[in-house]
């Protein structure tokens, strides 16, 4: 692993090595395994693109029968006063009565997850919980409960393990943080 990398105009330094990420993923998978034991076929819903690597590693550690799907949050300019509208695309089929676990790369302000939860709740699942790889407690300002947080970080910008800086850095197996 390199200590310093350059992506576009910025330098990043190593912050969390792959082994530490794996430990955190195992710990959160263990909690989910305990909480959903005996639950009728839960559905994991990953939010693309950022969650692809986390989902891949998390799901291998899940020990109950499950289904898996991916969605995207598409942004466009709405006509409402709040401006931006985000809609969930790619979820085919009913989730009514299902136990859903949303898999996210990172929850920052909570804006994205709030939109996502509003859409999912309207489809009347039996339950929905959020499992995020990273949570930023210092910038979160929504009420949606984030039950599963593999790791918490400060208000800093990170890349790697699925997370990008303007599309670069997703393939890195370690997490890097922006410097200077
Ligand atoms: P929120 O809607 O919670 O403010 O932000 C969620 C989205 O912002 C994430 O899905 C991600 O795309 C982006 N984001 C927030 N913080 C970071 C970060 O530290 N690194 C990267 N790469 N993306 C981030
Ligand atoms: Mg995300
Ligand atoms: Mg991004």
Q: What is the pLDDT of residues 7-24, one digit of tens each?
A: 999 999 999 999 999 999
Question: How far apart are the C-alpha atoms of 51 and 57, rounded to whole Å?
Answer: 10
Task: Let me know if 108 is a catalytic residue.
Answer: yes
Nearest atom (ligand 1) to Cα of 109: 4
Token representation of residue 170: 């997703």
Q: In the predicted model, is pLDDT for residue 175 greater than 90?
A: yes
pLDDT tens, residue by residue, 89-123 = 999 889 999 999 999 999 999 999 999 999 999 99
pLDDT tens, residue by residue, 37-74 = 999 999 999 999 999 999 999 999 999 999 999 999 98
69 or 85: whose pLDDT is higher?
Answer: 69
Query: 21 in helix, strand or coil?
Result: helix
| Residue in 22, 108, 119, 174 annotated catalytic | 108
Q: In the predicted model, is pLDDT for residue 141 greater than 80?
A: yes
Q: In the predicted model, is pLDDT for residue 36 greater than 70?
A: yes
Counting ligands in written order, the one closest to the CA of 163 is 1
Q: How confident is the model at residue 76 (pLDDT cuts 50, 70, 90)?
A: low
The domain spans of the chain are 20-155
CATH assignment of 20-155?
Answer: 3.40.50.2020
140 alpha carbon – ligand 2 mean position (Å): 14
Counting ligands in written order, the one closest to the CA of 109 is 1
Which phi and psi angles does 116 have, rounded to 5°?
-60, -45
Nearest to 18 by CA among 180, 178, 171, 152: 171
pLDDT for the residue 85: 67
Q: In the predicted model, is pLDDT for residue 79 greater than 80?
A: no
Best substitution site from 163, 168, 170, 177 to test ligand 1's pocket, by max atoms within 8 Å of Cβ?
163
Nearest atom (ligand 1) to Cα of 153: 19
- Using an 8 Å Cβ cutoff, are 28 and 148 in contact? yes
Token representation of residue 49: 């693109």
Q: How confident is the model at residue 86 (pLDDT cuts 50, 70, 90)?
A: confident
Identify the residue whose C-alpha is closest to ligand 1 atom 10: 106
**CB under 6 Å to ligand 1: residues?**
50, 105-113, 157-159, 163-165
Q: In the predicted model, is pLDDT for residue 80 greater than 90?
A: no
**Model ipTM?**
0.98
Best substitution site from 7, 48, 85, 108 to test ligand 1's pocket, by max atoms within 8 Å of Cβ?
108
């Amino acid at each position: 692993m390199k200590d310093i990398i350059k992506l576009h105009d910025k330098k990043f330094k190593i912050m969390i090595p792959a082994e530490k990420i794996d430990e955190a993923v195992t710990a959160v998978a263990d909690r989910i395994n305990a909480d959903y034991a005996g639950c009728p076929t839960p559905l994991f819903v990953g939010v693309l693109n950022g969650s692809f690597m986390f989902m891949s590693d998390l799901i291998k550690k899940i020990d109950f029968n499950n289904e898996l799907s991916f969605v995207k949050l598409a942004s466009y300019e709405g006509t409402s006063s709040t401006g931006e509208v985000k809609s969930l695309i790619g979820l085919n089929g009913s989730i009514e009565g299902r136990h859903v676990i949303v898999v996210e790369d990172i929850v920052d302000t909570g804006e994205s997850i709030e939109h996502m939860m509003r859409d999912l709740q309207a489809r009347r699942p039996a339950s929905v919980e959020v499992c995020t790889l990273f949570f930023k407690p210092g910038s979160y300002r929504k009420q949606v409960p984030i039950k599963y947080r593999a790791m918490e970080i400060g208000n800093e910008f990170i890349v790697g393990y699925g997370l990008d800086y303007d599309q670069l850095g997703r393939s890195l197996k370690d997490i890097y943080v922006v410097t200077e």
